[in-house]
A and B are shown apart, each in its own frame.
Chain A
Amino acid sequence: NAGVMQNPRHLVRRRGQEARLRCSPMKGHSHVYWYRQLPEEGLKFMVYLQKENIIDESGMPKERFSAEFPKEGPSILRIQQVVRGDSAAYFCASSPLGSGGQETQYFGPGTRLLVL
């Protein structure tokens, strides 16, 4: 049973470009969470999605960031017009159910974004 998959594992972008991060949840999981981890800091919640629905995006910056989880295909975290402060590790997690956070979340290996 494959775990949570993320790609790319490393992404380098110049300021102003777009970054697209992909996450495929574990088989049988329909709930996806995105987190950001800045160097030497803890993980910060960004957004929680179910298939075709954004449930909670309270942790996501209002501008330049968007997320989707289409009916088919992986979840996408999109960052437009990247700035140096966006450099971080972005982790995706999935769970089989989203029952108020009682379910264990399983994390992917992360995408390390570097903005030059």
Chain B
Amino acid sequence: RKEVEQDPGPFNVPEGATVAFNCTYSNSASQSFFWYRQDCRKEPKLLMSVYSSGNEDGRFTAQLNRASQYISLLIRDSKLSDSATYLCVVNTPGTYKYIFGTGTRLKVLA
């Protein structure tokens, strides 16, 4: 089983739609979770950290479910500019490695 798994997509959604991605992780000791966004041929950029109680940043909401070992990202009112690959990132305490998922591609259509 991969350490971090994501549905590769693509998710094709119309502008204004709500879309959600899940990401599962295998190490129950994982403590830090992040969503990064990567545009084609660009570097990953931090979208948001994921906190235990869930957190929201504008149109973006991140949730953590420790019991089922997954994190989620919800995007409301999708914009064309949201089209990108969304990377789930997990870190385990005591290590310095970020474990990246392979990403979920989102295409927002006009």
**With known contacts A56-B95, A101-B92, A106–B100 Cβ distance under 8 A:** no
Residue of B whose beta carbon sits closest to that of A91: B43
Partner of A42 from the list B43, B91, B95, B102 (CB cut-off 8 Å) is B102
A110 to B45, CA, bound (A): 12
A-B contact count (CB 8 A): 63
A9 CB to closest chain B CB (Å) equals: 10
Give the residues in chain B near A112, CB-CB below 8 Å. 41
Q: Which of A39-63 contact B (CB under 8 A)?
A: 41-45, 48, 55-56, 58-59
Please report the total number of B residues contacting A with Cβ < 8 Å.
25
Residue B109 CB within 8 A of the other chain: no
Residue B58 CB within 8 A of the other chain: no
**Interface size classification for chain A:** 20 to 34
**With known contacts A33-B96, A59-B97, A104–B44 Cβ distance under 8 A:** no
Q: What is the 8 Å Cβ interface bit string for chain A, positions 78-116, against chain B (1 contact, 0 not)? A: 000000000001010100001011101111111010000
Give the residues in chain A near B99, CB-CB below 8 Å. 45
Q: Which residues of B contact A (CB under 8 A)?
A: 4, 31-32, 34, 41-46, 49, 87, 91-103
Q: Which residues of A contact B (CB under 8 A)?
A: 33, 35, 41-45, 48, 55-56, 58-59, 89, 91, 93, 98, 100-102, 104-110, 112
